[in-house]
Amino acid sequence: MSGKNTILSTFPLAETKKGIISVSHLEEPYGTGSFPVVSIGISLKGDDTSPDWKAHIPYENLDQLIESLQTAKANFTEESN
């Protein structure tokens, strides 16, 4: 059972009418004693408390994730030009 979920930010999901992306701090995501994670949720209905999809990222992997996202953005931007 998941622990306390604190929403840090939400923003519109591009190309949707009501979709949102939410970023949260989630304590004890896998039960008592499990380490907190960043939870990234996507809701097509605009409900940040009940996303359709979510990914849990350990804090130790955030730098790697950010670098990967920056690479993806750079590659996409290059292809678009």
> 22-79: per-residue pLDDT in tens?
999 999 999 999 999 999 999 999 998 899 999 999 999 999 999 999 999 999 876 6
Between 76 and 12, whose confidence is greater?
12
Tell me the pTM. Answer: 0.85
Determine the 3-state secondary structure of 75 from DSSP.
helix
Q: How far apart are CA 19 and CA 81, in angstroms?
A: 27
Burial group, residue 29, by CB count within 10 angstroms (0-12, 13-18, 19+): middle
> Starting at the edge strand that comes first in sequence, how are the strands of the sheet with 37-43 ordered?
5-12, 20-26, 37-43, 53-58
Which pLDDT does position 48 carry in this prediction? 87
Q: How far apart are CA 71 and CA 5, in angstroms?
A: 29
Angle at 57 between CA 66 and CA 31, to 5 degrees: 165
